A and B are shown apart, each in its own frame.
Chain A
Amino acid sequence: MDREIVHNVVRLSEVTKVFKMGGLQVEALKGIDFAIKAGEYLSIMGPSGSGKSTLFNMIGALDKPTTGRVFIDEVDVAQLDAYELAWLRCRKIGYIFQTFNLIQVMTAIENVTLPMIFAGMSRDEYLEKGMELLRLVGLAERYHHKPSELSGGQQQRVAVARALANDPAIILADEPTGNLDLTTGEEIISLLKQLSTERKVTIISATHDIKMLNVSDRVVWIRDGRIDRVEERAKLKISVGEVV
């Protein structure tokens, strides 16, 4: 029916990942098969050590799967050369991490503009856009502060602004609220939700945070490197309602 609208931004096909440590082999992912539609707000849930971060790295082209394929916009990531891979990470995907990963020696505005510098924008352009993004996350007046001078929530908001720098189609967030208290966590979640509804950005977020469930279109439960179950929003409301 509506084939055109729902194209797959991300598709994983039998993705496995094995880590070798000395003689020991850890199977972090044991065959993941699924697709993420454009504009979707997807949460990846699962206990610690279930492979969420590993999956996150696969989707974000930050690491290579042991077997299987990862497609972004129906392009096999394994086929890309270093230059195309950098382009993909720069323009197509915005990353948000549990540990913020801001560059400590740079100010907020320098952190936000960095991806735009990599994208080859002119100085005037990226400064203007950088300030606009900081305004969006409510940190315009702290643009000249270093990460060490900002609170955790503020640092994460800078990271969100940075993730938006090149208008990515996908935002990947690995436990974005993991290091934040309840209210700042909620702020970040509503910011992400706002991006998803207003800008139609695809949001993929690994999380432990039950609050994330309420805003998600779909929740994927991971257990032991496998997809346990996938729940749609409608069904979810009921089950959450039952729990409460």
Chain B
Amino acid sequence: MKISFNSIKVRFFRSLITTLTLTLAIAFVAYIRSGYELLNAIWTHADLSLQERILAGGYEAVDGRFGTSPKDTWLAILSLIVCVVGIVNAQLMAVTERFREIGTFKCLGALNSFVVRIFLVEAFYQGLLGGLSGSVVGIVVSTVSIAWKVGWPAFRWWPFTGMLLTLGWGLFMAASLSLLGVIYPALVAARMQPAVALRTEQ
């Protein structure tokens, strides 16, 4: 565990890119989700003039509820797919950079499963970090943009539990995506013959 933590620290820049990919994707999805949470929370407390202001702000309610439209769903799925592709790409490069290290681990008696585990643990940390920052960014942006249109009720009825759920959901999504993205590169790395891995230039 300490090994993976160390290597995140050292390869900070590369990890940052992977994490940033996650942050952006999760921020987008969390923005949509937390926006509806907030609107629903305000709506139940809103008088007529406030309701009008919300609708004038360009938000559409269906049966007095705000929810994701098919368009939103597609955008969200698309952004998550782009995110996974980005992660696979970044992780493949990260793995290539570390062939020699992997070869050394194997010479010292590491099993393939150990190599896979290192990458999974790292990806998990990156996922949590990306999920946390992404959710926070998404929630802040949606809150600010709604507050801009409807004023202070946005803060007064701010749905704390709903937002917490969005955050937890963001963390979960990010960790899953990150793990999904790293599985293939990790398997590639683990299956190499040590001699082949050691031959690569650093």
Among A83, A89, A91, A162, point to the contact of B106 (Cβ < 8 A). A89
The reply on B112 being an interface residue by CB < 8 A is yes
The reply on B17 being an interface residue by CB < 8 A is no
Contact of A63 with B101 at beta-carbon distance under 8 Å, contacts A114-B108, A162-B108 already known:
no
CB closest residue in chain B, given A54: B195
Determine whether the beta carbon of A63 is less than 8 Å from that of B196. yes
CB closest residue in chain B, given A102: B104
Among A64, A89, A102, A105, point to the contact of B109 (Cβ < 8 A). A89
Determine whether the beta carbon of A104 is less than 8 Å from that of B108. no
Q: Which 3 A-B pairs have the closest CB atoms?
A: A90-B109, A63-B195, A62-B195
Determine whether the beta carbon of B111 is less than 8 Å from that of A101. no
* Interface bits A45-63 vs B (CB < 8 Å: 1, else 0): 0000000000001001011
Identify the A interface with B (CB < 8 A). 57, 60, 62-64, 82-83, 86-87, 89-91, 95, 97, 99, 101-106, 114-115, 118-119, 162, 166
> Could you write out 6 A-B pairs with CB less than 8 Å apart?
A82-B111, A89-B107, A90-B109, A91-B109, A105-B10, A118-B108
Contact of A86 with B110 at beta-carbon distance under 8 Å, contacts A62-B198, A97-B198, A106-B6 already known:
yes
Q: Chain A residues near B111 (CB, 8 Å)?
A: 82-83, 86
Q: Chain A residues near B10 (CB, 8 Å)?
A: 104-105
The reply on B33 being an interface residue by CB < 8 A is no
Contact of A90 with B108 at beta-carbon distance under 8 Å, contacts A104-B101, A105-B7, A106-B3 already known:
yes
Q: Chain B residues near A114 (CB, 8 Å)?
A: 105, 108
Identify the B interface with A (CB < 8 A). 3, 6-7, 9-10, 100-101, 103-112, 114, 193-196, 198, 202
Determine whether the beta carbon of B198 is less than 8 Å from that of A103. no
Contact of A62 with B193 at beta-carbon distance under 8 Å, contacts A86-B111, A87-B109, A106-B3 already known:
yes
- Distance in Å: Cβ of A208 to nearest Cβ of chain B: 19
Complex: A103 Cα to B109 Cα, angstroms: 14
Contact of A103 with B110 at beta-carbon distance under 8 Å, contacts A62-B195, A63-B195, A97-B198 already known:
no
Q: Chain B residues near A105 (CB, 8 Å)?
A: 3, 6-7, 9-10
Complex: A106 Cα to B196 Cα, angstroms: 23
Determine whether the beta carbon of A103 is less than 8 Å from that of B104. yes
Q: Chain A residues near B103 (CB, 8 Å)?
A: 101
- Distance in Å: Cβ of A95 to nearest Cβ of chain B: 5
- Distance in Å: Cβ of B33 to nearest Cβ of chain A: 37
Determine whether the beta carbon of B195 is less than 8 Å from that of A101. no
Complex: A97 Cα to B105 Cα, angstroms: 13
